[in-house]
Chain A
Amino acid sequence: MTPTRTAASVVLQGVSKRYGPVTAVKPLNLVIEAGTLVTLLGPSGCGKTTLLRMIAGLERVSEGRILIGGHDVTELSAGERNVSMVFQSYALFPHMSVRENVAYGLISEGRAKREAHAEADAALVTVGLAGFGDRLPSEMSGGQQQRVAVARALVLEPDVLLFDEPLSNLDARLRRSMREEIRALQQRLGLTVVYVTHDQSEALAVSDQIVVMRNAEIAQAGTPRELYEAPENAFVASFMGEANHVKGHLTPASPEAGTVRLGDLAIRLPHKGLVEGEVDVVIRPEAIILVEPNASDVLGGTVATATYMGAHAEYNLDTPVGRLFAVAPEARGLRQPGDPVGIRLADYGVFAVKGS
C-alpha cells in the first residue's frame, strides 16, 4: 500500500462536551500535526475516549470547532468525515468474512464489489494477513482480529486514524509486539494517528506527542521525554511513572533556579516561576542515591523495608521528610531493615511543582 496521500492535521478549538449537568470534556484547544502519532492518556473517566469520539464524529461537540486538514468538520457526521477508527473490541462484523469486513467501508462509499475485495486483499497484505480473507473473525486469534480491524480502517485512506484502547484485550507479550507494529505502520505510511490509552508505558513507547488528561481537561501535553523528565504537576509526574511526593521549602536564587531545602538536604532545582515558600517536590525512585549515613550533605534516614528484586533492590526509607520509596541498582549488598542510611538526590528525576 502506498503511503496515505491525505494525512491531515487535527485542530480542536475550544471543544467541550456536556451530558446534561455532567461535563465530560471541558473546553480545550489541541493541535495534532499531520503525520504524527498523538496519544490521549489518562485514568478512566478523564474524558479521553469522549474526546476521541468527538474527533470521530460519534459524539457531537457541545461547543467549539473541530478542523481536520484545515476543513471545519464540526457539523459533519462520522460517515461524512474522512476518519477511521479501530475499536477497543475491534467491532468486526461476526457474520462477514475478513475480506467482507475490510471491504465494507469501500462498498459503503459506492465502489464496485470486485474492486473493493481486491483492495481489501491488498490491505490484508499490508497488515501481514495475506490469505486470511475467507475466514470468519471468530476463527482468528485476538492479535489477528486486531490487524483485521486496522486493515479495515486503513483501506479507506483516512485523513486521521483513531485507536480506542486497541491493545487492552491482548495479553502482555502480544501487546508489546502489536504496539511496535502499529508504530511502524504509522511511520511507514505517514499517518496521522490519535491513540487513546490508559497505559503510560504504551503511551511512552508509541507516541510523538502525549496528551495527559485529568478530570475532563488537559493536564499536560508534550513529547514522552518532556512528560517524564519535566512534569508540570504532581499528577503528571506520578501518572507517568513511580514518584515520591514530599514538601520542601523553595528559595528562588536566579530567574530559573532556586534552592529547595528537604530537611538537612539542600538541592538546586529549576523553579518554573514558583515563589518562595512551601512547594511540592516530586522524586523518582531511581533518583534516590543511597550512601553511608555519616557522609556529608546527606538526608539521614533508616531502612524500613528492603526487597530483593533480582536485577535491583527496592527500599522504603523513613526520613525526616516522610517515607520515601527508592530503587537501587545494586541488589547484592542488600541493606537490612533498621540500617541507618544517607540519602542524596541525582540531578535528574527531581522536580519542584505547584502544590496540588
Chain B
Amino acid sequence: MRFDRPALAWWLLALAGVVVLPWHMQQDGLGLGAWRALATDDADAASALGQAIGHGRWWFWPTILALAAGLPGLGPILPRRRRGRILALAGGAGLLTLVLQAWLVGLRGWSYPGLAATFGELGNRQFGIGLGGALTFLGFLFLLTEGLSLLGRFGGDRFVAGAVGLLAACILLFTAWPVVTVLGQVLAVPEGQNAAAAIADRFAGPKVWGLACLSGGSSCGAAWNTLALALAVATSCTLLGLAFALIVTRTGFAYKRALRLLTVLPIITPSFVVGLGLILIFGRSGLVNQAVEAVTGTGLGRWIYGFPGVWLAQTFSFTPTAFLVLIGVVEGISPTMEEASQTLRASRLRTFATVTLPLMRPGLANAFLIAFVESLADFGNPIVLGGSFGVLSTEIFFAVVGAQAEFGRAAALALILLGFALGAFLVQRRVVGRRSYVSMAGKGDGGLSQPLPDGVRRAAVAVAVPWAVLTVTVYVLALAGGFVKVWGRDWTPTLSHFARAFAVESGPAGLIWSGGAWASLFTTLKLAAIGAPLTAGLGLLAAWLFARQRFAGRTALEFALMLTFCVPGTVIGVAYVLTYNVPPLEITGTATILVLCFVFRNLPVGVRSGVAALSQLDKSLDEASTTLRASSTRTLFQVVLPLIKPAIVTALVYSFVRAMTTVSAVIFLTSAEYEMATVFIINRAINGDYGLAIAYSTVLIVLMMAVIGAIQFGVGERQLGRRRASTAPVAALAVAGGRA
C-alpha cells in the first residue's frame, strides 16, 4: 500500500484542524495551548468535530463530511484521474462549506435576517475562525490543487497548482474581500436616512468636490485638493528628477555620486520626516520665520500649513524616486541615435530637442505617474503639514477616528481615492506597455552619449544643485531638531529627547527599558522581521509563476495582483479595519493583521524584483533542468533561486525597511498592545512634541542606514559583483518600490 504522500499530508492537516485544534479564535492568541479542544466543555474552545457532536453546532457537518469524502482519493487503489476527481471535489466542497458556514453563521446566529426568517432562529452562534479553521482551510485548498494537478491541470504539476491556489486565495482573502467590504460599507446607511441622498452626499457632497476655494470661499473638496496636489507634485518631481538624471548621466559634474546618494533617502526615512523638517524651517517658530521676524518685525504666518507646505514636502520626498526612474530612462537611450543625429548635421540642441527628449517621453510619463500615485497615497506629510487643507487620505483617517466614526463616508472617500489610483495605474500600463522606445536588451550599442547642450546643462545645474542643497538642509535640520531643547525658543543643546525615548535603567531584575519608545520599536522590529521573509517568499513565488509558468487564468491572476498593488495604503487600512473587525476573520487589534498588512502592502517589491531578476535569467536554464528530469520544485530551488539571490536579498531588505517606515495603512491597524514606531512618532508630532518625534525618527533612519549598509557590504560585493549588475541593491530597491 502506497499513499499519495503530499495529498495525505494535506488531508491530515485538515483533519487536525477539524478534530484536534480549537476551531475558533481563542483569547490567548492562536490558541496553541488549547489542546484540550478535544474534550472541553466550552463550546467556543472546542474543535469543529467536538462542537458538532457535543454542542449541536450542526453547521460543521458538511465540512466534516467533505473531509471524509476525500479519503478514497489518497489511497493507491484508484486510478490517477479518479483520485484527482475525488480530491478536487472534496477539497472544493470543503472550501465551499467552510466559507459558507463562516459567512452565514456569526456572533448572533444567522448573519442575515432573511435566513432567520426562512430557517427559523438558530439559537446558537460562533466567533471568528481560529487556528483549527485556518489549517482546515489550507488543507482543503491544497487537496483541491492536488486534485486538479492529478487531473492534468497546471501542466500536471502539483507545486505550480498549489502555488497558484495559495496566491489566488491570498488575493481573494486579503485584498479583494476587504475592497468589496468597503464597497458594501458605502451603501450601508443608518436607519431613518434617505439612502440615495446619504450616498450621494458621501460621493458628491461639497466636502469632496466643492470648489469654494476658487471663488474665495474657505476650502475646496478633498478630491479636488488631492488631484491638484498630485498633479503639482508630479510635475515638479518629474522636472527636478529629469534635471538630476541629466546631470548624473550626461555631464562631467563633480559630485555625481553625492547626488546618487540622495536617492537612498526616501527609502530609509518615514515620509513625514521631510514635513517635520519643513516645520522647523518655515513653521511659526522655524528658522526662516524667526529670521524674517527679527529683520522686518512681522512674521510670515502659517503659510507652510496647507497646499504649499504639503507640495514642498512631497516634492522633497518623491523627487529622488522620479530621479531614479529617469536615470534608467536616460541611460537606456542608445547613444548611436544621438550620434546618427549629429552626423546628419543637427546641432546639439536640435539633437536634444528632436531625438533625446522624444525618446524619453514614455519614461517621463512613467516618472510623472509614479510621483502622482505616491502623492495620492501619501499620508504622513498631509497629516503633519496639511492644516485645514484636507486631502483624501487624511479625510479618510479623520472620518474613521473622528467622534462620529463615519465609516460610510470613509469608505466612499476610499473608493474615490482608489478610483484615482486605478486610473493612474491604467494610464501607466498603456504608456509603459506600448510606447517604450528604450531597448531592454542588455547589450548597449557602442558609442558615447552626447554631452548636453550648454543651455540645457546650465538650466539643469541651476535647478538641481540648489534643490539638492535644500534637500540636505531640510534633512539635516529635521534631524538637528532632536538635539535642542525647544526649537525656536530654547536652543540649548540637549539629549533629553533621546533620553525620554530610549532611556535604559538597570534595575534589580536586569535592564529596564524605561524609555517611551522602546515598546513600539521592539514591536515594529519584530513584526517587520516576521513580515519580510513572508513578503519575499510570496512575492518571488508570484514572480516565478508569472514569468515562468503557463496556466489557465494566469492573465486574470496577474491583473488582479497588479490591481492590488495600486490600492493606496489608507484605503487598505480602512478596508482591513472594516473587514476584520467582525467574524469570520476577527483579527483587528492583533499582530496578525499588522503582519498581513505588511505582506500585502509590500508584495509588489518582491514581485517586481523577482520578475526583473527572472527576466534576466535565460529561460532555457529552467527548460534544461526540466528535460534533465528535475521536478519544478527542484528546478526552483536548485537552479532559479540560487541564480536570483540578489533579488531575494533586495526583496527581504526592502520589505523589512518599508515595514519599518510605513505609515498610511498601519495607522488604522495599530492597537495599544501593538503600537508601531511611525504611528508613535506621528502621534507625538500631532501633539506638538517635535523633539521626541525627531529624536525617534533619527534613530529609525540610522537603524535603516545600518541595515542597508550591512547588507550592501556583506552581500552587495560578492553576490552582485559576479552577476555584472551595476546597480547596487538599494538602487534596485527604489525602482522596485511602490508607495510608502
Contact = CB atoms under 8 A, between A and B. Distances in A.
A187 B494 CA distance: 86
Interface in B624-651: 624-631, 634, 638-639, 642-643
Given A77-B155, A79-B631, A108-B634, A91 B621 contact: yes
B156 interface: yes
B630 A85 contact: no
Contacts of B157: 77
Given A77-B155, A108-B628, A108-B634, A91 B623 contact: yes
Those 8 A-B pairs whose CB atoms lie nearest each other, nearest first: A105-B628, A91-B624, A91-B620, A108-B629, A108-B630, A87-B620, A78-B626, A85-B627
B618 interface: yes
Interface of A is mostly: loop
Interface of B is mostly: helix
A79 B621 contact: no
A77 B152 CA distance: 10
B628 to A, nearest CB: 3
B623 A79 contact: no
Nearest to A58: B623
Contacts of B152: 75
B621 A93 contact: yes
Interface in B716-736: none
A152 interface: yes
Interface of B: 152, 155-157, 618, 620-621, 623-631, 634, 638-639, 642-643
Contacts of B156: 77
Interface string A70-83: 00000101110001
Contact of A104 (B155, B618, B620, B630): B630
B588 to A, nearest CB: 45
Interface residues of A, number: 26
Interface string A81-97: 00111011101111100
12 contacts: A57-B627, A58-B626, A78-B623, A78-B626, A78-B627, A79-B630, A85-B627, A87-B620, A87-B624, A93-B625, A105-B629, A108-B629
Nearest to B623: A58
Contact of B628 (A75, A77, A104): A104
A105 B155 CA distance: 21
B643 A79 contact: no
Given A79-B629, A108-B634, A156-B629, A85 B621 contact: no
A56 interface: yes
A94 B631 contact: no
Nearest to B630: A108
A306 B95 CA distance: 81
A83 B634 CA distance: 18
Contacts of B621: 91, 93
A83 B625 contact: no
A264 interface: no
A85 B631 contact: no
A325 B155 CA distance: 53
Given A87-B620, A89-B620, A95 B626 contact: no
Interface string A171-182: 000000000000
B627 A94 contact: no
A108 B643 CA distance: 19
B155, B627, B630, B639: residue with the most chain A Cβ atoms closer than 10 Å: B627
A79 B620 contact: no
Contacts of B623: 58, 78, 85, 87, 91
A288 B639 CA distance: 57
Contacts of A95: 642-643
Nearest to B617: A94
A84 B627 contact: yes
Interface in A32-77: 56-58, 60, 75, 77
B627 A88 contact: no
A93 B639 contact: yes
B160 to A, nearest CB: 11
A156 B624 CA distance: 13
A94 B643 contact: yes
